[in-house]
Structure 1
């Protein structure tokens, strides 16, 4: 965005002629992110470890796409560093990278195994590191780009049984802030979105328990869980010129959870 020209507010959120890679597009927040980006004119590559799920998202996104932008699907396992590097080389110019893939093992620290620790850290934090190293250099060369990750209320507020997950989300925030500081001079922006409790496959375990579901709902200012679609607006904002001066930030979309200091101690 050129600050010396009059701002076209009518198209502030448009993403025409931009290419967006959405990782984790097969379900949940990733799926809704892909749909929203396509609806705002972006060419979207829907990536997921489950290719069939990615293809379904791409098919739906195509019906929402405006301006004739292409929507495609790709299999990508972000636990495979070589696969990430290959994708970056094959896809070429990418303007926006959104990564939503995450996992959680709900156990207290003393009950964790080393293998479980490695699994959570690898997907939630190491994969983000690999994605930054693969896609940010091209963005820096072109002098523009936006990378968007997802943290959690757990990046700032913890509860028993969420320690390792919380550590990865806090780590992701600091990783993205550092990338913002290092690559800001090259025109690349790095931000994260901090959801509250969202009805996604990752939260199936607690959603299936009526007591947990109700307790979590009551901890937010709005008194309910969110739908994945309620995160999509934040993604479009951070991908677009509407956020051209926003980098190194954590945008909380948590229904006011952190504002009211919500906390729930689950039963052992």
Structure 2
């Protein structure tokens, strides 16, 4: 018998019996991530700053799902949520804010708002929930970064800086939590059709430019990002930590879209 003969490859993608929390589950990628984890057998708690939307997602995430109100900018609220979920196996957070303005037009207040949610909020989340996972000796944390952590365009400098810093925060957590068996990874979506990107999608030139930049020539669906989240949450990724998984249709791999003549 070889080593592979003893592995149940179907089971390693399952999340049966796992307790999961998805922060930002009210819409978009967070919502689809919660639905994906629930479909794979996890007991999902859906957290969002909009409780009604979290409850709506929980309604489709399985009979054992629950919803809770959470503002990750509030360190005390995050700590209380972590205390209320002492047996957490999977943590996914997709919260984020983007103010698309050029640097000369940015206000200090807008800069603070973006960093407060995208980076400080992630700091609260990783510390509070990571502590419990480290104490129990296992778990998977998945944070939502962006292709803007790698590549940028005018009007995205502050958002890009926050998402790049998030990747390094996640890598640092992976280094510190790894000896306890806790994995910490980031997902970097490309352009995804969600309510947050509807204003971009509504401009034909902008929509087409973004679609053309990727190798696949289209925008992503939230469910396509949720598949990557589910993989990182499962035992199928048991030797992956400190990684940035780009789910961008080839955006960060392709340099230009000109197809030279043969």
1:218 aligns with 2:212: yes
Aligned to 2:260: none
Aligned to 2:99: 105
CA gap 1:166/1:220 in 2 versus in 1, 3 angstroms: same
Cα distance in 2 between the residues matched to 1:182 and 1:253:
26
Cα distance in 2 between the residues matched to 1:12 and 1:132:
25
Alpha-carbon displacement from aligned partner over 1:232-252 (angstroms, at most 9, x marks no partner): 111111001000000000000
Cα distance in 2 between the residues matched to 1:202 and 1:191:
23
SS in 2 for 1:120: helix
SS in 2 for 1:221: coil
Cα distance in 2 between the residues matched to 1:126 and 1:203:
23
Cα distance in 2 between the residues matched to 1:85 and 1:201:
29
**Pairwise mapping of residues 1-268 of structure 1 onto structure 2 (< 5 A)?**
6-62=6-62, 70-261=64-255
Provide TM-score, normalisation by structure 2: 0.94
Deviation at 1:9, TM superposition (A): 1.1
Cα distance in 2 between the residues matched to 1:261 and 1:18:
41
Alpha-carbon displacement from aligned partner over 1:78-123 (angstroms, at most 9, x marks no partner): 1111110110111221111100010100001111000000000011
Deviation at 1:209, TM superposition (A): 1.1
Aligned to 1:266: none
Cα distance in 2 between the residues matched to 1:246 and 1:27:
27
Provide TM-score, normalisation by structure 1: 0.92
Cα distance in 2 between the residues matched to 1:40 and 1:216:
32
CA gap 1:5/1:224 in 2 versus in 1, 3 angstroms: closer
Verify the 8 A CA contact 1:94 1:139 in the aligned structure 2: yes
Superposed CA RMSD in Å reads 1.5
SS in 2 for 1:97: strand
Cα distance in 2 between the residues matched to 1:135 and 1:256:
32
- Runs of 5+ consecutive residues of structure 2 not aligned to the other structure: 258-262
Deviation at 1:204, TM superposition (A): 2.3
Decide which moves more: 198-207 or 143-152.
198-207
Deviation at 1:174, TM superposition (A): 0.4
